[in-house]
C-alpha cells in the first residue's frame, strides 16, 4: 500500500487531530484482519487509502465471498 509521503503531516478532517500509525482491526464475514494504517490520535478516525479500499480489501472480499 502506498500513501503520500506527507500523510503523517495531514490533520484529521473530523477533529483536526494529528495522525499516527496504528494497528487497525477489520472484520468481514467472520474473518479478522489487522493492518497498520494512519489514524487520528484524538478521535480515532482511520485513513483508508483508495488503493487499499479498491485493491487489496476488494480482492480479499471477493475471495471470502467465493468460499
pLDDT in tens, 13-67: 999 999 999 999 888 777 788 888 999 999 999 998 888 778 776 776 777 677 6
pLDDT of residue 57: 66
**Distance in angstroms (rounded) separating the CA atoms of residues 7 and 19:** 8
| Spans of all domains in the chain | 8-66
pLDDT of residue 1: 52
46 backbone dihedrals φ, ψ, rounded to 5°: -105, 140
**Distance in angstroms (rounded) separating the CA atoms of residues 14 and 40:** 9
User: Whole-prediction pTM value?
Assistant: 0.67
Architecture of domain 8-66: Roll (3.10)
pLDDT of residue 2: 55
Amino acid at each position: 500500500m502506498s500513501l503520500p509521503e506527507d500523510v503523517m503531516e495531514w490533520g484529521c478532517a473530523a477533529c483536526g487531530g494529528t495522525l499516527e500509525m496504528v494497528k487497525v482491526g477489520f472484520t468481514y464475514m467472520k474473518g479478522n484482519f489487522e493492518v497498520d494504517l494512519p489514524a487520528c490520535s484524538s478521535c480515532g478516525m482511520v485513513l483508508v487509502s483508495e488503493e487499499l479500499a479498491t485493491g487489496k480489501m476488494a480482492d480479499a472480499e471477493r475471495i471470502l465471498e467465493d468460499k
